[in-house]
């Protein structure tokens, strides 16, 4: 993982690097040790790093619960998933809109969308469904027993169980849950290589074509100049473009500018995103 992106330079507590540095996840034992220190010493930690939007890391349950209750103080944002500024800048430069779902919009606009299904999730409504939810929980407990003592918590339990419960509330038949999972992955999972979605059209597969369609005016290739030296791009940046058949190459800014001029002279459709000719962070 450490080959994909340079290590961010923090101006705040260096322990905050565990939230934004891919290489930190290579040793999960050490990751959890640092996380435990943060929960003990500074459960609400400000994380500021060069090339990243600043954010607060909230690491204990009481504080997380308080955040969930105080929408007047803690706002949703279009950058709800922390990522380097360059990632968002590159996607917007290529014409991709930032996502706009309930976890990305705030205030009156958020409330209008939420009101569409709000009554279905009120305590009284959910209590009426409790027997069905208990049955679903029993089914997944039985499935876990059959897995032989080990499982992938996300893929085997958290994702399918949660989806099954929500779909039962909406009245979606169980046979359609695979379709709904692909829909939610397309909308919410575009930045996660494990649940990779499609930035351009999360509904594309409804046309019966599993391949992601390339927009008509899309470039053939995207060149990314990363400063004086080449830095490899993370998978969540390259993968959506490659899925659409758009080439993406990272190289030094000087090489990217030279390559851009050559390709343009050949009449190729090319886009270049060039960082200043200095060391990229």
The enclosing domain of 250 has a CATH number of 3.40.1230.10
In a domain, 105, yes or no: no
Residue 50 lies in a domain: yes
In a domain, 196, yes or no: no
Q: What is the pLDDT along the chain (281 residues), one digit of tens a residue?
A: 333 345 677 889 999 999 988 888 889 999 999 999 999 999 999 999 988 888 999 999 999 999 888 888 888 887 777 777 877 776 666 556 677 777 788 888 888 888 887 887 788 887 888 898 899 899 888 888 888 888 888 778 888 888 888 888 778 887 777 777 766 665 555 444 444 444 444 444 444 444 455 667 788 888 888 888 877 787 777 777 877 778 888 888 888 888 888 888 878 888 999 988 765 44
Q: Give me the pLDDT at residue 187, please.
A: 55
Q: How much helix, strand and coil, in percent to the nearest 5, is found in the chain?
A: 50, 10, 40
Give yes or no: residues 62 and 127 share one domain: no
Same domain as 225, residue 90: yes
Tokens standing for 190? 């575009």
Tell me, yes or no, whether 240 lies in a domain.
yes
Specify whether 93 is located in the same domain as 146. no
Question: Are 220 and 182 contained in the same domain?
Answer: no
The span from the CA of 134 to the CA of 81, in Å, is 32
Domain encompassing residue 246: 86-98+212-281
Predicted TM-score of the model (pTM): 0.51
Task: Give yes or no: residues 7 and 65 share one domain.
Answer: yes
Query: Of all helices (H) and strands (E), which one includes residue 12?
Result: none
- In a domain? residue 139: yes
Q: Which residues contact 249 (CB under 8 A, 6 or more apart)?
A: 221, 222, 223, 224, 256, 259
Looking at the 3D structure of the chain, how many domains does it have?
3
CA 51 to centroid of chain Cα atoms: 17
In sequence order, the β-bridge partners of residue 271 are 222
Count the neighbouring beta carbons within 10 Å of the beta carbon of residue 97.
10
């Amino acid at each position: 993982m450490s080959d994909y992106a340079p290590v961010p330079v923090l101006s705040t507590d260096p322990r905050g690097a565990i939230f934004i540095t891919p290489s930190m996840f290579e040793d999960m034992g050490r990751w959890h040790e640092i996380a435990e220190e943060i929960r003990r010493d500074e459960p609400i930690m400000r994380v500021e790093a060069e090339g990243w939007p600043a954010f607060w890391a909230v690491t204990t349950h009481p504080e997380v619960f308080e955040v969930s209750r105080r929408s007047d103080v803690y706002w949703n944002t279009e950058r709800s998933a922390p990522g380097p500024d360059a990632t968002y800048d590159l996607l917007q430069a290529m014409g991709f809109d930032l996502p706009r779902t309930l976890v990305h919009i705030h205030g009156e606009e958020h409330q209008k969308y939420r009101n569409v299904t709000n009554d279905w999730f009120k305590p009284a409504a959910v209590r009426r469904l409790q027997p069905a939810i208990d049955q679903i929980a029993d089914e997944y407990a039985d499935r876990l027993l059959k897995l032989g003592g080990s499982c992938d918590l996300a893929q085997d339990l958290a994702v399918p169980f949660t989806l099954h419960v929500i779909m039962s509330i909406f009245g979606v038949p169980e046979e359609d849950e695979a379709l709904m999972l692909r829909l939610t992955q397309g909308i919410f999972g575009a930045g996660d290589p494990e649940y990779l979605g499609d930035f351009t059209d999360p509904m594309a597969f409804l046309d019966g074509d599993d391949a992601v369609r390339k927009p008509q005016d899309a470039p053939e290739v995207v060149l990314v100049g990363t400063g004086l030296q080449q830095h490899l791009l993370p998978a969540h940046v390259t993968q959506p473009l490659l899925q659409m058949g758009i080439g993406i190459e990272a190289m030094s800014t000087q090489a990217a500018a030279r390559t851009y001029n050559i390709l343009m002279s050949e009449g190729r459709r090319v886009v270049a995103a060039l960082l200043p000719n200095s060391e990229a962070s």
